């Protein structure tokens, strides 16, 4: 199986998370008017223009930013570096799959096998992006997630949602997850991001979902994969990630330091993108929604320009806001202290090899311990919510 990023079980997933440099429970919580505590900064309100950067020595923002909404933040610290209308509610297209993954991915082990039924594929929308899931086919959960992240396959989303209790139940659970993460601009109607009346999100919320996703080793591994094999009746079909900053295709070069996350397109949403990149020990997240310039690859070019600006502005631009972090995993009542960058530091690792171990990839073993804790918290959360154990492999 040809892959751009080589993964080997749990060690490889840990390697992806180590490269991302995101701590495991440092995820955004309530950060909207009425929810923030005394003295905390709040993001720009809906409809606001570009937030100015006034720090001495900070470079000017890039020219030609035509997106209706965008936001750039530091994934490690939660600092918001610049934004335009970050709470403007817009159709998210397939970037909503980040929330789907944050909600559903922890529930099923990668090796769990699903034989797809006709019911699993009911309701896939006309014109949907597909990875090629076939009725009667047998797929591992890992196969299905690669179909979601690389090909944005709505057929794979439908199968995973069916495993999760059904389409409507999954939409409701995604809505609850969004609320627990403090994402108040999102209304989930179709878990795959397909254009549906009333379905909206925002640059702020999608950043929240991307950041929470990167704190999960499996999410980090899938979203960083540029090419992989997908099973078919004839054998294995090679699939390529539709995120052009990652795959370096269709007139785009691979962005230096890119580590994911998810792109999307629908008629109503236009082009949307959540992208993360890491340089010099710093991970930035950018969300771009619906560029208006009409230029080819506009969503990728504008995202790349904002990432360039963010890396160039290191130690120069003063944050305009900060994503707050939760002290416990959402839905868990164990009152465990947040593992922030001050308590557990995830060290960047060299590319994983087939024989690499998780302990070797995280300095001092802290990362492995944090990963085990996070996995326990997530499983406990979902067992409590659904009342059933995780499906066995």
Catalytically active residues are 94, 97, 152
In contact, 228 and 140? CB cutoff 8 Å: no
Residue 247: alpha-carbon gap to chain centroid: 17
> 10 Å Cβ neighbour count for 222?
29
Cα distance between residue 75 and residue 210, in whole Å? 9
- Sign of the torsion formed by the C-alpha atoms of 74, 78, 83 and 88: positive
- Asked if 323 and 73 count as a contact pair (C-beta separation under 8 A), the reply is yes
Listed in sequence order, the residues at least 6 apart from 268 whose beta carbon sits closer than 8 Å to its beta carbon are: 91, 195
Q: CA quadruple 142, 143, 145, 150: dihedral positive or negative?
A: positive
Contact assessment for residue 208 and residue 181, using Cβ atoms and an 8 Å cutoff: yes
Give the Cα separation of 6 and 15 in Å (integer): 10
Cβ within 8 Å of residue 298, ≥6 positions away: 66, 67, 271, 291
Tokens for 98, please give them. 């980040």
Which phi and psi angles does 277 have, rounded to 5°?
A: -145, 155
DSSP code, position 201: B
Looking at residue 364, what DSSP letter applies?
Answer: G
83 near 320, Cβ under 8 Å?
Answer: yes
> What is d(CA 7, CA 185) in angstroms, rounded to the nearest whole number?
35
Number of continuous H segments (helices) and E segments (strands) in the chain: 11, 10
The string of DSSP letters for 69-125 reads: EEEEEETTT-EEEEEESTT--B--GGGGHHHHHHHHGGGB-TT-EEEPPTGGGTTPP
């Amino acid at each position: 199986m040809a892959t751009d990023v080589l993964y080997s079980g749990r060690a490889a997933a840990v390697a992806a998370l180590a490269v991302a440099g995101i701590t495991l429970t440092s995820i955004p919580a309530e950060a909207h008017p009425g929810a923030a505590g005394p003295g905390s900064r709040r993001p720009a309100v809906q409809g606001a223009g570009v937030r100015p950067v006034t720090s001495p020595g900070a470079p000017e923002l890039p020219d030609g930013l035509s997106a209706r909404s965008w936001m750039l933040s530091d994934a490690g610290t939660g600092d918001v570096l610049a934004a335009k209308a970050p709470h403007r509610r817009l159709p998210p297209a397939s970037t909503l799959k980040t929330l789907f993954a944050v909600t559903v991915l922890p529930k099923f082990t990668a090796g769990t096998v699903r034989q797809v039924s006709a019911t699993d594929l009911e309701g896939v929308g006309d014109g949907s992006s597909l990875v090629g899931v076939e009725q009667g086919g047998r797929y591992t959960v890992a196969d299905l997630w690669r179909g979601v992240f690389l090909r944005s396959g709505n057929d794979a989303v439908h199968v995973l949602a069916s495993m999760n209790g059904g389409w409507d139940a999954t939409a409701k659970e995604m809505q609850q997850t969004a609320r627990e993460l403090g994402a108040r601009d999102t209304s989930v109607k179709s878990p795959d991001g397909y254009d549906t009346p009333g379905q909206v999100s925002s640059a702020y919320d999608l950043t929240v979902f991307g950041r929470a996703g990167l704190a999960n080793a499996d999410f980090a591994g899938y979203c960083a994969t540029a090419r992989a094999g997908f099973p078919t009746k004839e054998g294995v079909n090679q699939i390529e990630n539709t995120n052009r900053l990652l795959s370096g295709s269709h007139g785009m070069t691979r962005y230096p330091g890119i580590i994911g996350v998810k792109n999307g397109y629908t008629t109503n949403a236009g082009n949307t993108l959540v992208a993360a990149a890491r340089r010099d020990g710093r991970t930035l997240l950018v969300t771009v929604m619906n560029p208006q310039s009409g230029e080819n690859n506009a969503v990728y070019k504008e995202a790349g320009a904002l990432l360039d600006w963010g890396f160039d502005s290191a130690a120069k631009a003063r944050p305009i806001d900060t994503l707050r972090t939760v002290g416990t995993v959402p839905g868990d009542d164990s009152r465990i202290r947040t593992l922030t960058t001050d308590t557990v530091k995830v060290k960047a690792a060299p590319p994983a090899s087939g024989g690499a171990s998780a302990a070797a990839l995280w300095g001092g073993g802290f990362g492995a311990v944090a990963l085990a804790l996070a996995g326990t918290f997530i499983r406990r959360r979902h067992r409590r919510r659904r009342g059933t154990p995780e499906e066995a492999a």
